[in-house]
């Protein structure tokens, strides 16, 4: 569970909700036709823009904003220390039964290739291809959120223009101007909220996740190369630690590293 | 038929239509002079910007947003499995009668060059040139939609400014302010709708199509190179499958592939 | 004459004119002081931004939006078929009297260098330099139009702010609000019209023209290289046709080409 | 202490404060719920966008906008003149006790590596890695300020839309329009002030600091390489001065340099 | 004196002044507190963004928008013809007394290095370094104007929001709405005028000047290399003329060149 995403969304919703509630009541903010045109229009834009499989893919990718199965850098170091011990006892072939236990396809592919004794170039090429495919999927998901982030406010404005035109062309009772204007502004509010509370921050989270995953995959790739060259446990750790970004490095206790 | 494009356009139109209908009636939204200035102005901008043959070309390219004659990756695999069987039986020359049956110029050129025994470099260069020419045509069409997407809202605003000035300089009866303002806003609404329901999403679809076509052409190019080198059926398939993007790969059933 | 540019400008002017005329009368749209501040301010921005010779140059370049002396690709093919016949009869030296008849400096330079027997590298370098100088002039003209396209709406807004402030600080008679607001909005209208009917589309046309000229110059350069290598008429044509963009290629009748 | 940052912030706050104070009183500008939605929404956007450790890191980085422990170029020259004298007397090894006194990690690492007699490539690689890690941290901090600078005005607008809708749907007493509108506009004001007085200028300061630090690190790196090659004091200074940007060079008195 | 800059600024000021004057009177446009918040806020943004020496440097650089001591290309040609005559009579060493008379540091450095017989690489490297330092100074000055061009309208909007809130929360007398609104809009007007009459065009002029200076320095560098290789006067001129942009080349009379 990514607590920050949940917390951020909750914070935003509570802010908006309490602003609506304490400013009077929240009822005038719920209006079916306004919801329809803002989200229906955004959906229409997305349906035309992207082929169907990319829309499905984007929602699968969006899951990683909330739930992340990625290990942290210290856990990866721990994992590879474990693999190195196995290799020292049973040789590279001993990694084969371990590969089958992995659910992460990147780790699985890496362990299989290392166990089968592939050379450095083959392992690097295969894992880079895997990493590149993950990057494309993330970028593709991010692009969908960015398209929604620009379509939603535009459709909000279209809804407001429709509402304004209707209110203005049937202006019999000047007392209705206020409530008519209030309804017309709702679509602009929906569009802005959808873009700034969901689409733009989630696109940002996907980018952050992408950078984190790239780091983890780089550490793992270095780990497989280090296992192949059958270096000492200490040197393997040293090589992996060089790939951890300095801001996160202090999370990997150096004492424990030296003790190993 | 590209159902997503049709569905998206219908969704958008229904949203807009029902918002107009249920909010009162749709009549005040149809106004000849406002339509004229918004679309006439956009047409003027396009006529000045682009030479005539690029405007014609753009509408031809826009057709592929609605109708696509491109095969899906699994179909291309099936096609090349078929070609490989023919080559195995009758040699490369046996591809010649098949080339003549093809309507797709890329496939036709590729089959002709392969059948006539051209070397790897000639085939690659000729097909890359063909692929590049397709890319230029797509980019050229996309640019026209992008120019319209920025011209339409600008002309909508020009129409609104003209309408406002007229209403304000003949302000005898304050009761007419409402209806005058309603008419003045219509051009802004037209411009926004045209840009956000048609121009921007269709430019996006052209980009998506372009990426899909680039993938298909890459698979085909790999296929022609594989046919030349007369590899086994299994190896040809393996080489082609490496060019399918991972998101689409599961659509190509591996069982069927292995069975072949 | 470039009919599309004239037609586009006329279309735009007629749209605006009829919107003004049929919406009441066009008189309130003509206001000297508003014209002065919008166009005077834009002129001031351009005078400060660019050195004097670039402003002069930009208007010379803008001429090619309306009048184009560039031959079409089929005419260039015809020209080089003619040159090739002359070379076959009288050798490269026979091109010299022809060079003197040319008014286009690019063609003239190319013919002179070819006639004087310069080698491939000299011809290529000299003509590339000539092509690069043309590109710089076009880009320089385009930049001036782009600067005007962003200065005009800004000065329109400045004019509107001045008008609003004046109207609001002398608000004795509420009946004058309407006409005061109408006058204040005029500068915004002028700025938007100038930017979207003239500056932006003409900058676009300059870009289109630039791409066309680059194509024509590439065909000519290939032609001079082909003349030097004294190939057969058919091969010269084949080489030139490869430089014509596919969208325009069907305008060059292949039958006529083969007949030659 | 960076006096310019403090001075700039004070100038901005005094301007805003006096405009509020002398225009009547500052009380109407403080409104709890408006503060909540603007800053709560911005916080929500940041929480979703960035992983927690990058938010912590950004505030640590923001400290360098106010307090800078970086020496000026003349001080660095003075430092390395001092180091060079030590090396002349006691050899490179004599730098070791000095390394332990340094609090700046870059300088410490450089002195340690130089003292231990590492070769040019090792020193350069290690210090470039250190410099790159600093650059990433700065860019990461700057990005957070830029995200806030675009989220704050957006949430200000959302707050204003909520306030407007509330005011308009309970429009019983037309006398309340004014005060309702005033409250609704406050969130837009908060968002604009937060973005333009804090986020954007501080992001700019982080960029300026980054450029300054890059210069200082380049001078230091050159200094370590010069120490290794044990050149004369004059030549070491000459090499370091070449890395000082010309605008700052006159601050380093050349007379003193020659005297050394 | 750069007449175009002066003329442009005067044109803009006269346009604005007459629009204010003839539309009533200019008095309501001068308002101390509004001037304070717009320019004070912009100053605050600049103080935080840039280190102090870059602000000082920017105003020094801005001088070249008004006064330019740069020679025109024909004058540079004349200068180097003069230098070439001196070298022909007295050898490279004869340039030394001339170097001391020069006030332009680039020309001085070039003459000194050439007189002292430095080789091609040393002269090129030293003058490129000098040219690069000038480019950095220009870019740094331009960036400051661009930051002001985006800060001024933002602070204008902040001032308007403060003014609106004040007016709306003390809305006792509806007759005061007009004058209150007029004062509130003034800051937006100040910000827009400062950005579009000063900051943006002057940033543009700095860019134009930068391009001109780069051309002049390239001609001079070529001149020093030509002097070293002691070619004939005619060849030196031919080499220098190749560096003059074609638009300016006709200003350099070829007849005079040939006569020399």
- Reported as a single tens digit per residue, the pLDDT across D144-187 is 999 999 999 999 999 999 999 988 887 667 677 788 888 899 99
User: C1-23 pLDDT, tens per residue?
Assistant: 678 899 999 999 999 998 888 77
User: For residues D67-82, b (16+ Cβ closer than 10 Å) or e, as one string?
Assistant: ebeebebbebbbbbbe
Q: Which of D151, D157, D162 sits opposite A19 (nearest CB)?
A: D162
Q: Which residues of C touch B54 (CB under 8 A)?
A: 208, 247
Which residue in B has a C-alpha nearest to residue A39's C-alpha?
B15
What's the mean pLDDT in C119-133? 87
Q: Where does the pLDDT of residue E48 fall: very low under 50, low under 70, confident under 90, or very high at 90 and above?
A: very high
What's the mean pLDDT in A10-31? 86
In eight-state DSSP terms, residue A173 is -
Q: Which residues of C touch E199 (CB under 8 A)?
A: none
Calpha distance E106→E129 (Å, rounded): 10
CB contact under 8 A, D192 and E49: no
User: B130-189 pLDDT, tens per residue?
Assistant: 888 888 888 888 999 999 999 999 999 999 999 999 888 876 676 777 888 888 999 999
Chains C and A touch (3+ CB pairs under 8 A): no
Q: What value does the mean pLDDT of chain E take?
A: 85
User: Does the pLDDT value for residue D254 go beyond 90?
Assistant: no
CB contact under 8 A, A196 and D147: no
CB contact under 8 A, E154 and D7: no
- How far CA C11 is from CA of A88, B45, C14, C68, E251, in Å, comes to 81, 9, 5, 21, 41
What's the mean pLDDT in E141-168? 94
Position A250 scores a pLDDT of 58
User: Does the pLDDT value for residue E259 go beyond 50?
Assistant: no
Q: Any idea what the Cα angle at residue D230 is, between residues D226 and D233, rounded to 5°?
A: 75
Position D256 scores a pLDDT of 40
Question: Among A137-151, A154-168, A185-199, C100-114, where is mean pLDDT lowest?
Answer: C100-114
User: B228-240 pLDDT, tens per residue?
Assistant: 886 778 888 888 8
Calpha distance C53→B206 (Å, rounded): 42
CB contact under 8 A, D168 and A178: yes
What's the mean pLDDT in E11-39? 87
Q: Is A3 exposed, middle or buried (0-12, 13-18, 19+ CB in 10 A)?
A: exposed
Strands of D17-93, DSSP E: none
Position A24 scores a pLDDT of 72
Position D41 scores a pLDDT of 95
CB contact under 8 A, A45 and B188: no
Using beta carbons and an 8 Å cutoff, which residues of D are at the interface with E?
4-5, 7-9, 11-12, 14-16, 18-20, 22-24, 28-29, 65, 175, 178-179, 181-182, 185-186, 188-189, 192-193, 195-197, 200-202, 204-205, 208, 212, 245-248
Rounded to the nearest angstrom, the minimum Cα separation between B98 and chain A is 31
Q: Which residues of B touch A146 (CB under 8 A)?
A: none
Q: Which of E40, E147, E162 sits opposite D23 (nearest CB)?
A: E162
Chains in contact with E, where contact means 3 or more Cβ–Cβ distances below 8 Å, are C, D
User: C160-195 pLDDT, tens per residue?
Assistant: 999 999 888 876 676 777 888 888 999 999 999 999
Position C46 scores a pLDDT of 94
Position B248 scores a pLDDT of 66
Q: What value does the mean pLDDT of chain C take?
A: 85
Chains in contact with A, where contact means 3 or more Cβ–Cβ distances below 8 Å, are B, D
Q: Which of C50, C51, C169 sits opposite E179 (nearest CB)?
A: C169
User: Does the pLDDT value for residue B250 go beyond 60?
Assistant: no
Higher pLDDT, D253 or E26: E26
Position B24 scores a pLDDT of 73
Q: Is C49 exposed, middle or buried (0-12, 13-18, 19+ CB in 10 A)?
A: buried
Q: Where does the pLDDT of residue C256 fall: very low under 50, low under 70, confident under 90, or very high at 90 and above?
A: very low
Position E249 scores a pLDDT of 64
- How far CA E235 is from CA of A34, E75, E217, E238, in Å, comes to 76, 17, 19, 5
User: Does the pLDDT value for residue B244 go beyond 80?
Assistant: no
ipTM of the complex: 0.85
What's the mean pLDDT in E192-220? 92
Q: Which of E15, E188, E208 sits opposite C44 (nearest CB)?
A: E15
Q: Where does the pLDDT of residue A248 fall: very low under 50, low under 70, confident under 90, or very high at 90 and above?
A: low
Top mean pLDDT of A248-252, E25-29, E205-209 is at E205-209
Position C203 scores a pLDDT of 94
Contact B224, B239 (CB under 8 A): no
Higher pLDDT, D256 or E132: E132
Higher pLDDT, E233 or A42: A42
Q: What percent of chain A has pLDDT over 90?
A: 31
Position C1 scores a pLDDT of 63
Position D60 scores a pLDDT of 83
User: Does the pLDDT value for residue D260 go beyond 60?
Assistant: no
What's the mean pLDDT in A134-155? 92
Which residue in D has a C-alpha nearest to residue A182's C-alpha?
D165
User: Does the pLDDT value for residue E180 go beyond 90?
Assistant: no
Alpha helix segments (H runs only) across chain E: 3-22, 32-49, 52-62, 73-90, 96-101, 105-115, 120-169, 176-193, 200-228, 233-241, 246-249, 254-259
Calpha distance B224→B82 (Å, rounded): 12
Which tokens go with C19? 């919107």
User: Does the pLDDT value for residue C121 go beyond 60?
Assistant: yes
Q: Which residues of A touch D161 (CB under 8 A)?
A: 185, 188-189, 192
Position B260 scores a pLDDT of 35
User: A152-174 pLDDT, tens per residue?
Assistant: 999 999 999 999 998 888 766 76
Q: Where does the pLDDT of residue E260 fall: very low under 50, low under 70, confident under 90, or very high at 90 and above?
A: very low
Position C169 scores a pLDDT of 81
Q: Which residues of E touch D29 (CB under 8 A)?
A: 162, 165
What's the mean pLDDT in E235-245? 79
Using beta carbons and an 8 Å cutoff, which residues of B are at the interface with A?
4-5, 7-9, 11-12, 14-16, 18-20, 22-24, 28-29, 65, 175, 178-179, 181-182, 185-186, 188-189, 192-193, 195-197, 200-202, 204-205, 208, 212, 245-248, 251
Q: What percent of chain D has pLDDT over 70?
A: 92
Calpha distance C44→C37 (Å, rounded): 10
Position D250 scores a pLDDT of 58
Position D249 scores a pLDDT of 64
User: Does the pLDDT value for residue E168 go beyond 80?
Assistant: yes
Q: Which residues of D touch E144 (CB under 8 A)?
A: none
Q: Which of B31, B177, B246 to mutate to test the interface with A (most CBs of A within 10 A)?
A: B246
Position A42 scores a pLDDT of 95
What's the mean pLDDT in E73-78? 88
CB contact under 8 A, B33 and C14: no
CB contact under 8 A, C4 and B51: yes
Contact E241, E218 (CB under 8 A): no
Neighbours of A152 (CB within 10 A): 26
User: D70-121 pLDDT, tens per residue?
Assistant: 888 888 888 998 999 998 888 888 888 888 888 888 898 899 888 888 888 8
Position E254 scores a pLDDT of 44
Using beta carbons and an 8 Å cutoff, which residues of A are at the interface with D?
4-5, 7-9, 11-12, 14-16, 18-20, 22-24, 28-29, 65, 175, 178-179, 181-182, 185-186, 188-189, 192-193, 195-197, 200-202, 204-205, 208, 212, 245-248, 251
User: Does the pLDDT value for residue A225 go beyond 60?
Assistant: yes
Closest of D101, D70, D105, D69 to residue D83, by C-alpha: D101
Position E247 scores a pLDDT of 62
What's the mean pLDDT in B229-255? 70
User: Does the pLDDT value for residue E54 go beyond 90?
Assistant: no
Q: Which residues of E touch D243 (CB under 8 A)?
A: none
* DSSP reduced 3-state for A23: coil
Closest of A135, A140, A142, A139 to residue A218, by C-alpha: A135
* DSSP reduced 3-state for C104: coil
CB contact under 8 A, A8 and D44: yes
Position E155 scores a pLDDT of 97
User: Does the pLDDT value for residue E250 go beyond 60?
Assistant: no
Which residue in E has a C-alpha nearest to residue D28's C-alpha?
E169
Question: Among A141-145, B45-49, B91-95, C8-12, where is mean pLDDT lowest?
Answer: B91-95
Rounded to the nearest angstrom, the minimum Cα separation between A249 and chain D is 11
Alpha helix segments (H runs only) across B96-199: 96-101, 105-115, 120-169, 176-193
User: For residues A85-121, b (16+ Cβ closer than 10 Å) or e, as one string?
Assistant: eebeeeebeebeebbeeeeeebbebbbbbbbeebeee
Higher pLDDT, E249 or D37: D37
Q: Where does the pLDDT of residue A246 fall: very low under 50, low under 70, confident under 90, or very high at 90 and above?
A: low
Position C197 scores a pLDDT of 95
CB contact under 8 A, E12 and C40: yes
User: Does the pLDDT value for residue D53 go beyond 50?
Assistant: yes
Q: Which residues of D touch A181 (CB under 8 A)?
A: 164, 168
Rounded to the nearest angstrom, the minimum Cα separation between B226 and chain C is 27
Q: Where does the pLDDT of residue B253 fall: very low under 50, low under 70, confident under 90, or very high at 90 and above?
A: very low
CB contact under 8 A, B48 and C18: no
User: Does the pLDDT value for residue D127 go beyond 50?
Assistant: yes
Contact A65, A207 (CB under 8 A): no
Q: Which of C37, C136, C166 sits opposite E245 (nearest CB)?
A: C136
């Amino acid at each position: 569970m990514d607590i920050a995403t949940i917390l951020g969304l909750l914070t935003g919703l509570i802010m908006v909700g309490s602003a609506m509630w304490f400013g009077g009541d929240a009822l005038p903010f719920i209006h079916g036709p306004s919801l329809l045109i803002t989200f229906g229009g955004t959906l229409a834009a997305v349906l035309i823009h992207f082929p169907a499989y990319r829309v499905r893919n984007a929602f699968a990718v969006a899951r990683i904003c909330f739930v992340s199965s990625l290990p942290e850098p210290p856990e990866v170091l721990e994992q590879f220390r474990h693999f190195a011990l196995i290799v020292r006892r049973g040789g590279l072939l001993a990694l084969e039964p371990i590969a089958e236990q992995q659910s992460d396809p990147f780790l699985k592919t890496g362990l299989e290739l290392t166990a089968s004794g592939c050379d450095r170039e083959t392992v690097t090429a295969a894992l880079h291809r895997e990493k590149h495919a993950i990057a494309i999927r993330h970028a593709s998901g991010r692009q969908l959120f960015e398209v929604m982030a620009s379509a939603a406010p535009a459709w909000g404005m279209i809804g407001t223009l429709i509402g304004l035109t209707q209110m203005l062309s049937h202006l019999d009772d000047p007392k209705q101007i206020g409530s008519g204007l209030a309804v017309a502004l709702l679509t602009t509010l929906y569009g802005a909220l959808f873009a700034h509370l969901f689409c733009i921050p989630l696109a940002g989270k996907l980018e952050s996740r992408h950078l984190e995953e790239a780091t983890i995959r780089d550490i793992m790739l270095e780990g497989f190369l280090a296992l192949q060259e059958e270096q000492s446990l200490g040197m393997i750790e040293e090589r992996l630690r060089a790939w951890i970004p300095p801001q996160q490095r202090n999370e990997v206790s150096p004492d424990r590293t030296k003790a190993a």
